[in-house]
């Protein structure tokens, strides 16, 4: 590749990951999980008035990753930590005036309420009862959840497939 062509490629790569001025960048999301992250954060099917950008399948030092950037919003850790269910390695970067002022990894909660459905069709949380799904986190690697009603366990794909 000529020097000129290399420069063009470099420029294209940079455009894909435009820095933001203010907001939250969720980085190191597992490849293919960006939409689940949006779902977990309640950014789908909601009337939002801030900019959300998504990058999927981006190169990273550990292979491929997804990135979600939410501009002008500093999301709450309580909400962000739920991302650990589908992407335990994700990092949250708070951006102020183009600078990363805080960076931390999402933290696995002890209890998960409401954002997943139980994979057991017969579970009471899947019937027409006013019972919200609730799980206890019983394992970290891999993330393993146990339903508080029927005790059925879920891990890996089962978890991401059951995000409500
Ligand atoms: N970022 C952004 N806007 C900024 C600053 C950073 O969108 N003004 C994004 C970067 O594109 C990156 C993430 O925020 O996806 C973290 O930025 P930074 O800490 O600068 O990157 P790295 O050092 O590569 O982060 P890490 O070590 O966590 O991989
Ligand atoms: Zn259940």
For 87-117, write each residue's pLDDT tens digit.
999 999 999 999 999 999 999 999 999 889 9
CATH (one of 3.10.310.10, 2.30.30.20, 3.40.50.10440, 3.40.50.360) for 111-161: 2.30.30.20
The answer on pLDDT for 133 being more than 70 is yes
From the CA of 126, how far away is ligand 2's center (Å)? 8
Q: What separation in Å is there between the alpha carbon of 127 and the centre of ligand 1?
A: 43
Higher confidence at residue 19 or residue 13?
19
On the question of pLDDT at 17 being above 80, the answer is: no
CA pair distance 60, 162, nearest whole angstrom: 27
Average pLDDT over residues 136-152: 96
Q: Is pLDDT at 16 greater than 70 in this prediction? A: no
CA of 90 to the centre of ligand 1 (A): 12
> What would be the CATH architecture of the domain defined by 3-105?
2-Layer Sandwich (3.30)
Neighbouring-strand partners of residue 135: 112, 147
Confidence grade of residue 34 (pLDDT, cut at 50, 70, 90) = very high
Nearest ligand 1 atom to the CA of 61 is 29
Name the nearest CA neighbour of 53 among 34, 39, 36.
34
Q: Where in the chain is the domain with CATH 3.30.70.140?
A: 3-105
C-beta of 20 in contact with ligand 1 (< 6 A): yes
Provide CATH 2.30.30.20 ranges for the chain: 111-161
Confidence of residue 10 (pLDDT cuts 50, 70, 90): confident
**Which of 16, 27, 101 has most ligand 1 atoms within 8 Å of CB, for mutation?**
27
Comparing 46 with 121, the larger pLDDT belongs to 121
Task: Count the alpha carbons within 13 Å of 40 in the hemisphere toward its beta carbon.
Answer: 29
pTM for this model (two decimals): 0.88
Q: Is the CB of 93 under 6 A from ligand 1?
A: yes
**What is the Å distance from ligand 2's center to 147 Cα?**
5
């Amino acid at each position: 590749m000529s020097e000129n062509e290399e420069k063009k490629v470099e420029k294209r790569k940079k455009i894909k990951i435009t820095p933001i001025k203010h907001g939250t960048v969720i980085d190191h999301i597992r490849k293919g999980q960006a939409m689940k992250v949006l779902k977990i954060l309640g950014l789908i099917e909601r009337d939002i008035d801030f900019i959300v950008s998504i990058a999927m399948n981006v190169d990273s030092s550990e292979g491929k990753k997804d990135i979600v950037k939410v501009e002008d919003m500093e999301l709450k850790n309580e909400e962000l930590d739920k991302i650990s269910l589908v992407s335990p390695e994700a990092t949250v970067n708070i951006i102020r005036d183009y600078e990363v002022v805080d960076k931390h990894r999402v933290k696995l909660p002890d209890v998960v309420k409401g954002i997943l459905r139980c994979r057991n069709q017969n579970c009471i949380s899947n019937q027409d009862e006013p019972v919200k799904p609730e799980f206890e986190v019983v394992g970290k690697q891999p993330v393993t959840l146990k339903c508080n009603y029927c005790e059925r366990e879920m891990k890996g794909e089962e978890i991401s497939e059951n995000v409500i």
